[in-house]
Structure 1
Amino acid sequence: MLPYKLTSQEETTLSYLRYNQPFFSIHFSEESSFFFFNEFSNWLQGEFDLFFKEEHQNILKIYFPNGHTIVSINQNEEISIRSLNKNSQKCKNSMLKLLRSYQFYKKIKPIKH
């Protein structure tokens, strides 16, 4: 059990934990916009500045010990956050960090279409 009070959306998202060798993975997606994704991506790069990152077109990959997280947006303007880690608890923790960062950023910078 995580040591934080979780919202129902966070509980639902974390319940989708799956194991596909060699990683546990969790996926979250929601309608967004390219403008919001670009600003959120830049903000995440500052938030996780001590971690190695790769950015290519509409994909941001942040590497954590034993795994990584991918934040991307597709042509239908749907933002996607996927966390992969060899440890299930660390997978949940990294997903929770990004999900909370996403929710916080959405409050201060509403999605513009």
Structure 2
Amino acid sequence: MVDDEPDLADLAQALLGYHGIDVCIAHGAAQALRMLEADPHIDALFSDVMMPGMTGLELADATSLRYPHIRILLTSGYTAPELLGPHSRQYPYIAKPYRIDDVIERLRR
């Protein structure tokens, strides 16, 4: 889970954990990339799109290039990723506020 808003990241971690999903929290894309490099067992990336520095879209592109086996799901309370301009590929997206059951379903696909 990657979100620059600590309260949202902590809430998502608690809700996903309640449903049996192990969650690592990163509060930015650079931290998330370090975590992915350090832990080869991470199998999914759930990231906010709008973050300072590297956006969630840029993080998704870097992740899919380096770790093609990792499932990616993006979220935003502002706008859908396809409206933000060109990037290397389309990613599954869920709008904020989201239902945790919908996130789990998409992460397990």
Q: If each structure's helix is expressed as a fraction of its own residues, which one has the higher value? A: 2
Structure showing greater radius of gyration is 1
For the superposition of Structure 1 and Structure 2, which TM-score range results when normalised by the shorter chain?
Answer: under 0.3
Taking structure 2 as the reference length, what is the TM-score of the superposition? 0.28
Taking structure 1 as the reference length, what is the TM-score of the superposition? 0.27
Q: If each structure's strand is expressed as a fraction of its own residues, which one has the higher value? A: 1
Higher normalized contact order (CA 8 Å, seq sep 6+, divided by chain length): 1
